[in-house]
Structure 1
Amino acid sequence: MAARGRSDGTRQEPLLERPESLFDIRLDPRDRAAGAPPPVEPPRRAARSKTPPAKVAPAKASPPEPRRGEPSGRGRRERRRRGPLLFRLIKWGFILGIWGVLAIAGVIAYEASKLPPMQTLMIPKRPPTVIVQAADGKTLASRGDMGGVAVPIRELPPYLPKAFVAIEDQRFYSHFGLDPEGLARALVTNLTSRRLRQGGSTLTQQLAKNLFLTQERTASRKIQELVLALWLEHKFSKDELLDLYLNRVYFGAGAYGVEAAAQRYFGKSARQVTLAEAAMLAGLVNSPSRLAPTRNLRGAQARAALVIAAMRQQGMITQDMASAALARPGQLSRAGMPDSSGYVADWVMDQLDTYVGELPGDVVVRTTIEPNLQQAAERALEDTLAKSGAKYGVGQGAVVSLDTDGAVKALVGGRSYADSQYNRAVTARRQPGSAFKPFIYLTALEHGLTPDTVREDGPIQLKGWRPENASHDYRGPVTLTTALSLSLNTVSVRLVLEMGPKAVVATAHRLGVASPLDPNPSIALGTSEVSVLELTSAYVPFANGGIGVVPHVIDSVKTMDGKPLYQRAGDGPGRVVAPEYVAMMNRMMTETLSTGTARRADLPGWQAAGKTGTSQDYRDAWFVGYTSRYVTAVWLGNDDSSPTKKASGANLPVEIWSRYMKTAHQGVPVADLPGGLRTAGFGGIGYSPPGGLFAPPEGGPDDRPPAVVGQMPAPPQQQEEPMTLDRWFVQTFLGGGQRR
């Protein structure tokens, strides 16, 4: 380095005498990252030069070749980028997982808070079982929320509880109330099938639902079910849980608990079921309504085969046991098939609360039903409809039979209880048609008319209403006896107008009709609806001498240990018809069976009376007939009130009545109807002596009677009191006894 001076004496900075390249300390393009352009060198200020230096375009550097075995520059950048991304995903996944767990815990805690405190939570007592018995002590049915007595698991055959574990919860003895594997499998199955096919619930969860929760399918209820399942597992042993489950689960056909199901389907105790029957019971709980053997025996047997296969696969039974069970599948016993006694049991349950209030526990209800009569009524109805129902367009029917005290001896509420539990004998209201006419004629007698009073059978018109007889012809003047036996509508209308509709309604209500009745002229044709039961009970006073009754089926109620809760006393409304009018009515209604519309009624050796009834367009067909022992009513029709094919009270109902009453009177001592009607004559039903009050018309009962028939005899001479009609009947028919 040399110092140089200027001629003017000023100092000049020294210059380094080195090559120009030594002063360039910028990076060579070869030292830069691949693909990165070199920086542009800023222009140097030239000393004392006012001309700007020319711009030099930088040379384009080619990317350097990567060394063998080392990643390129882009790969290094991608690797650096992936590292932080993976870390962030893990971090946020962990955070979200924590929040998810906290959210689930919060939801569970919230739903659990809706439950009562666990320390106060108790297993609810098993609802009472009601055993419904016939009059002879034979069990007719079991009813109540629980259909059978609880049976301890130790008393059951060992393969019975195993069958439930095999098909419902294979890991029952190993899980803690929840089965994660089962839940996962159910979730996969439901997702792949895109519909709910599996639930994944354990037996403990099912028990929790049955004990404490409703059957609704919501997320809230499911969470509560899980909480309760954990509590149950902590509170009880596995065998105790299984015991509770078997005695609470629903098996279809109204059967709750394994004992009720065994009785309902196989007619035996759960202690005695075979392996095939146990497998069928275990298979029902999956879909009890659809698989109930009473409705779908083949489906129940197919499901039982799956249960047996599962038991064999899990080593619960041997191959020989499985083969034997498959060879002889469970069969529905005749005793287990629902029959007409189901209508009786349902009616008993409807009334039981009125009789005894809240049940203290299991009870036995003794009814008035006679099993042989119940079966006879059921067979008579079913066989007749099977033979002639289609011909007459009749789909349903009902039969009620009472004794003269009002006790129900047989009650059939429909053609098949298994197909329809609607009780047409008690609940249904139908038009009685002409079966209502005895109340009209009784009202007329109580207003001073007699069986031989004459009224005109001819056209009648009332404000545009023109009632006609079924035959569309008229007989002219006829006695009331003839008019009632032939069911002449015009005479009934005239009597209603003469006595007043309100008087007729009062008579019907007094005798036992409970339904509201419209007090208008059309009541003469039985247009107000009544039940079969109440119409039957309203005829009872004709059979027992005029005493009103309250129809009843419950005789006593006792606890299982015999403590009486209710015992029926002989209460009732007392006398509702004077004996003399009972005698008149019986005389008139015996003509219905001998010469009138019920001539096909057949009950040899017995005095019988009654009345047929057919509503408009043949929608209802009735016959109510009675002896001194039983009063029985038969109704036929269709549930939708559609017209039948001319089914009338004179055909099918009379046929059913005759068949049943023959069975009911077998071995029963013969007794006459009140009124002393038996003398001599036809079919066990005789006339009074010639010249008496009930003398038949001249020329026979089928001819047109004369204008004046049967004059009442003159009163005896030297009587202290005038001989009234009332006193005459008392002395003639009751042997001079006093009127009660």
Structure 2
Amino acid sequence: MRQKRSGTPVTMASKGKKPATKKKRRRRLPIWQKVIISLVIAIVFTIVATGGILYALTIPLFDPSKLLQPPTLPTVVYDRYGKVAFTIQPTGIQRVALDKIPKYLQQGLIATEDVRFYQNHGFDIRSIFRSVVNDIFHHGNLQGASTITGQLAKIVYLNDNRSLKYKIEQVILSIQIDRYFTKNQILDMYFNNVYFNGSTPGIENAAQVYFQKNVSQLDLAQCAMLAGLPQAPTEYDPYLHPHAAILRRNVVLQQMAKYGYITQQLALKTEALPLELAKTPGIIADGVPAAYVWYRDNLYQEANQIGIGVNRLLQGGLKVYTNLDPQIQYSTYEQFKNPANFPPNMDGNEAQGGAAFLNPSTGGLLAIVGSRPDTYQVGGFNYATQTERSPGSSIKPLVVYGPAIDSGAYNGDSLLYDGPLDIGGYQPHDWAWHPTINNRVTLRNALAESWNIPAVWLLQQIGIQNGLAFGERAGLTFSNRDFSHLDVALGDIHPGTNPLQMADAYSAFDNNGSRIPAHAIEKIVTDQDNTIYQASNAPIYVMKPSTASTMVGLLRNNVVNGIAELASVAGHQVAGKTGSTAFVPYPNAYSPGDADLWFSGFTPHVVGAIWEGFPTPGIHAYVPNWVGGSALPAKLFSEILTQGLIGRQGGSFLAPVNVSPSPSVTPLIQGFTGQFNRALQGVVLSWKPVTDLNVHYLIFRGAKGETSITNNNSIGDVTQTSFTNMLTVPGTYTYQVVAMDRSSNAIVGKSSIINVKIG
């Protein structure tokens, strides 16, 4: 039986006519067409609504006890070993009575979310009809038409989706709630169940997070800010988006003035005030260990993505089986607390970081940390999943070297061009001088030392389309503009990437060429042991297994013999790639440091990626060159897994380290001789052919005593087994010949160095 309503509706000022606003000129329908369309809409809407209501009334959804007595069973989260990791208490609400909530806050919510709250019966037919007509006649986005009661129904009873059945159920639940409870009871339950903060429900929690005050202590400006949050708690989060929060707060103030709750003068005076937030976000104790808060936040995000919804987790009574590895998670957390693992603060700005670790054979998320622990806030920005940054050279295996090897035309010994390069005006440069073989380096060395010019040249050779298609199969995303510039070889992608995505992409190297998309949740079971979600774990083909094996060997060489040596983990084989992006303050050409630092790597059983940098790079927020660049995240990777893998078998990669062949392994070109021929006015060189017939020969000359003469430019390139160097200047010269395979551009033979004297 319906209870008697208590309380009286707040008096509203009489409505005046809205001032005319100038609209863009658009093609108008004749009036008779509008009348006919309106009638058709009204008839169809009435039929659909009536049929939907009759249909939905037969569905036994409404259980008032869910509103009166929230469930006492928590949602239990299990780690990868089946042990309880943490629990999520039902809704996590700090309940507060309606009479303790300021009138300004109640009025601001009603004026903004549901101005006819005290007059409607749980749904607003005028708002629904108006949104449909607006969409038809003005071709705009469908306007929201959800009432306060409807929002409450969605939070407590429904998963957040947009199906027709969902909409019908929401309306019917709203009607039933309105019949069963008084308006003040509904408003009370709304304030205690709805999200005013990204991941924590309830108005008291929001007051503590943003102002570190009890809700009863809030002033008008603070009430208006909170009243504007339910529409989009994250987008209007005042810590993350202060400008948007102020604009939204001021909308609430204008709505309050419009409907007579405050004067226009008071609204304008309050709009001029700053946000007046607490200096640091208040912490809401929910029983989740500090080391696990990012994993918990990621669970909420993933629950929404898979259609279960964070609200369902917070309602309690579920068992969530995850891939959480407590040892690696705790190690990541502890290492992120150590300032020595991050760039130094600059002018009061603190560097940030994010890390994610996966099981390459399952895609399971083992550990995640989304910020420095001292800056964490509930539902705040997660640098492991939300940041969009250039990956620098850590992208090279995914869009250059991986696809090149997968094409079958290249291997570790292939020589890549490494000289002056100008491609349509684009002139890449390298970060340091280095020796080459006739302006060429091996693919192995180009990757190990992260040279830029060979990567750009090779991407042009294989084609941007092919390179980025490989990256897309690995899970990276690219904009249309990325397919039109070779800078993508060096990490210039849009909008950017994050550690979770990079770890996911690298997992294909560590999983025989396929990847299983990264995920935290394996299974969700109700308290009645009904499975409501099961991860599919279907593998996605990225590359041939032989390509993956070759890349593992090459990336191992990066750590064993290249610039990623600080990523080594005692007792475990490690492969990986560093990356960084230069910070170049406009209009200077000189870079005083880096904007982004990366390491992406893996052991046989764990793959991870780490990003470090400042949230907004600038002249007072960059990583100086003296800090050591991408050595920082490489070392952090080592520190995390050194502790995180204690007591575990190291395992071995099937692929050996792909190192440069030793001189004894490279076939020796036999019979190399040379002498000065006065009649020919030059040095005549000859040698015996190598067994590979598809070769050409590069001839190098150096000064007396020079032993690395292949670092010089070649003086000849021939297919026959002889060459005459036209030279008469007296002196002693050194010569060497190198045989190159025509198809792979790999070195297939070298001669010894000989001395020839002229004069």
The verdict on how the C-alpha distance between 1:332 and 1:451 changes in structure 2, with shifts beyond 3 A counting, is: closer
The alpha carbon displacement at 1:444 in A equals: 1.9
Where does residue 365 of structure 2 map in the other structure? Answer: 408
Partner Cα distance (2:737, 2:545) in 1: 28
Describe how 1:90-109 pairs up with structure 2 within 5 A: none
Which of 377, 388, 394 is 1:435 aligned to? Answer: 394
Partner of 1:620: 596
Amino acid at match of 2:431: A
Residues 312-341 of structure 1: per-residue CA shift (max 9 Å, x gap): xxxxxxxxxxxxxxxxxxx98987588464
Following TM superposition, by how much is the alpha carbon of 1:586 offset from its aligned partner in structure 2, in angstroms? 1.7
User: Aligned match of 2:504 in 537, 561, 581?
Assistant: 537
Question: Cα–Cα, structure 1 residues 147 and 709, in superposed 2: closer, same or farther, change >3 Å?
Answer: farther
**Residues 472 and 334 of structure 1: CA distance in aligned 2, closer, same or farther (over 3 Å):** farther
Deviations 1:95-140 (A, max 9, x none): xxxxxxxxx99968999xxxxxxxx999695499883724144354
How far has the Cα of 1:649 moved from its partner?
Answer: 4.9
Q: Would the aligned equivalents of 1:251 and 1:258 in 2 still touch at CA under 8 Å?
A: yes
Deviations 1:640-667 (A, max 9, x none): 2434323665321112111111123222
Q: How does 1:322-341 map to 2 (within 5 A)?
A: 336=287, 339=290, 341=292
In 2, Cα distance between equivalents of 1:567 and 1:370:
19
In 2: Cα distance, 1:437 partner to 1:450 partner? 15
How far off its partner does 1:436 sit?
A: 0.8
Cα shift readout 1:262-300 (whole Å, capped 9, x = no counterpart): xx99xxxxxxxxxxxxxx99945645999x9xx99xxxx
Q: Measure, in 2, the Cα distance between the counterparts of 1:341 and 1:356.
A: 23
Amino acid aligned to 1:421:
G
1:343 aligned onto 2:294: yes
SS of match in other structure, 1:414: coil
SS at match of 2:565: coil
Q: Distance in 2 between matches of 1:527 and 1:541?
A: 22
What is the 5 A alignment of 1:301-380?
Answer: 336=287, 339=290, 341-357=292-308, 362-364=316-318, 365-380=320-335
For 1:471, which of 422, 428, 432 is the aligned residue?
Answer: 432
**Residue of structure 2 in register with 1:511 after alignment:** 474
Q: Which residue of 1 aligns with 2:654?
A: 674
Q: How does 1:80-91 map to 2 (within 5 A)?
A: none
Correspondence for 1:191: none
Distance, in Å, in 1 between the alignment partners of 2:10 and 2:633 is 68
Distance in 1 of aligned mates of 2:77 and 2:667: 46
Q: Distance in 2 between matches of 1:444 and 1:382?
A: 40
Once the two structures are superposed, residues 599-636 of structure 1 have per-residue CA deviations (whole angstroms, 9 ceiling, x without a partner) of: 22231122111101111322111011111111111111
- What's the offset of the Cα at 1:674? 3.0
CA distance in 1, matches of 2:359, 2:557: 22
What does residue 605 of structure 1 align with? 571
Partner of 1:521: 486
Where in structure 2 are the equivalents of 1:60-79 lying within 5 Å? Answer: none
Q: Deviation per CA, 1:182-218, whole angstroms, max 9, x where unpaired?
A: xxxxxxxxxxxxxxxx9469xxxx9xx69xx945479
The equivalent of 2:382 in structure 1 is 423
Change (3 A) 1:547 1:244: closer
Whether the aligned pair in 1 keeps the contact of 2:435 and 2:711 (CA below 8 Å) is: no
Distance of aligned partners of 1:222 and 1:543 in 2 relative to their CA distance in 1, 3 Å threshold:
closer
Structure 2 CA distance for partners of 1:544 and 1:692, relative to 1, 3 Å? farther
Greater alpha carbon shift after TM alignment, 355-364 vs 394-403:
355-364
**Whole-angstrom CA distance in 1 between matches of 2:203 and 2:344:** 38
Which of residues 638, 641, 645 is equivalent to 2:624? 645
**Cα distance in 1 between the residues matched to 2:741 and 2:487:** 32
CA contact (8 A) 2:102 2:215 kept: no
1:417: how far off? 2.3
Deviation at 1:224, TM superposition (A): 6.8
- 8 Å CA contact 1:385–1:394 kept in 2: the answer is no
2:637 aligns to what SS in structure 1?
A: helix
Which residues of 2 match residues 391-406 of structure 1 at below 5 A? 395-404=351-360, 405-406=362-363
| 2:523 counterpart residue number | 556
Trace 1:141-156 onto structure 2 (pairs within 5 A). 142=88, 147-148=91-92
Q: Work out the CA distance in 2 between the residues paired with 1:106 and 1:282.
A: 26
Q: Which residue among 138, 144, 148 is the counterpart of 2:84?
A: 138
Residue of structure 1 in register with 2:465 after alignment: 502
- Corresponding residue for residue 538 of structure 2: 571
* Partner Cα distance (2:741, 2:652) in 1: 26
SS at the partner of 1:438? helix
Q: Which stretch has the larger CA shift, 605-614 or 505-514?
A: 505-514
Report the Cα offset of residue 554 of structure 1: 1.2
CA distance in 1, matches of 2:573, 2:741: 25
State the identity as a percent. 22
CA distance in 2, matches of 1:219, 1:497: 58
Normalised to the residue count of structure 1, the TM-score between the two structures is: 0.54
CA distance in 2, matches of 1:395, 1:408: 25
Deviation at 1:482, TM superposition (A): 0.8
Change (3 A) 1:245 1:391: closer
Per-residue deviation at 1:432?
1.0
**Structure 2 vs 1, CA of residues 482 and 332 (structure 1 numbering), >3 Å: closer, same or farther?**
closer
User: Against the structure 1 CA distance between its residues 139 and 630, is the aligned structure 2 distance closer, same or farther, given a 3 Å change threshold?
Assistant: closer
Note the C-alpha offset of 1:220: 5.8
- Greater CA drift, 373-382 or 134-143: 134-143
Could you tell me how far 1:410 is from its partner in structure 2?
1.0
Query: In terms of Rg, which structure is larger?
Result: 1
Distance 1:526 1:341, change over 3 A: same
The alpha-carbon distance between structure 1 residues 340 and 692, as it changes in their structure 2 partners (threshold 3 A), is: farther
1:99-178 mapped onto 2 (5 Å cutoff)? 125-126=66-67, 131=75, 133-135=77-79, 136-140=82-86, 142=88, 147-148=91-92
- Counterpart secondary structure, 2:332: helix
**Is 1:403–1:409's contact at 8 Å kept on the other side of the alignment?**
yes
Count of aligned pairs: 488
Opposite residue 579 of structure 1, the aligned amino acid is P
Query: 3-state DSSP class of the match of 2:338?
Result: helix
Q: Using the alignment, how far apart are the partners of 1:693 and 1:384 within structure 2?
A: 47
SS at match of 2:550: helix
CA-based RMSD: 5.5
**3-state SS in 1 of match to 2:518:** coil
Contact 1:537-1:550 within 8 A present in 2 as well: yes
The 5 A counterparts of 1:728-739 are none
Q: Distance in 1 between matches of 2:476 and 2:666?
A: 30
**What amino acid sits opposite 2:395 in the alignment?**
F
Q: Deviations over 1:457-491 (max 9, x none)?
A: 22212233221111155534321111110001111
Q: Report the Cα distance in structure 2 between the residues aligned to 1:352 and 1:337, rounded to whole angstroms.
A: 17
Instruction: State the AA in 1 paired with 2:649.
Output: P
Paired amino acid for 2:300 = M
Show the 5 A alignment for 1:656-667. 656-667=636-647
**Kept in 1: contact 2:200–2:378 (CA 8 A):** no
Distance 1:563-1:140 versus aligned 2 partners, 3 A rule: same
